Structure 1
């Protein structure tokens, strides 16, 4: 993963990470998300094409569960 730069207005200090898969084909870029840890409260997920848009907040442990279900 690599660090993404645009801040989100609700999470200005978040360190967003973009998947290394987003550097591939145009099709892969269409479905890329970024993830940021949010203190002790879990993680935030956003669409890399809309960094100022909606953010999904997950409690601790939920990101791991989400990834397992998506595989």
Structure 2
């Protein structure tokens, strides 16, 4: 593995024998970190959003299935 700093970027190079699925998992995590690094959301905010989303989805499913 080779790590280089270039201007505003960090370049990481892996040998061809490295499993792409393992690299992708690491890249997914790093992308998540990049996207959430400036977030001001609290755990409480996230929990409220998750609960609202689940509730709305359940209502949609109930209507589609005819459970109302």
* Pairwise same-fold verdict (TM > 0.5): no
Q: Normalized against structure 1, the TM-score is what?
A: 0.22
Q: Which has the higher strand share?
A: 1
Larger radius of gyration: 2
Q: Which has the higher helix share?
A: 2
Higher relative contact order, structure no. (Cα contacts within 8 Å, ≥ 6 residues apart): 1
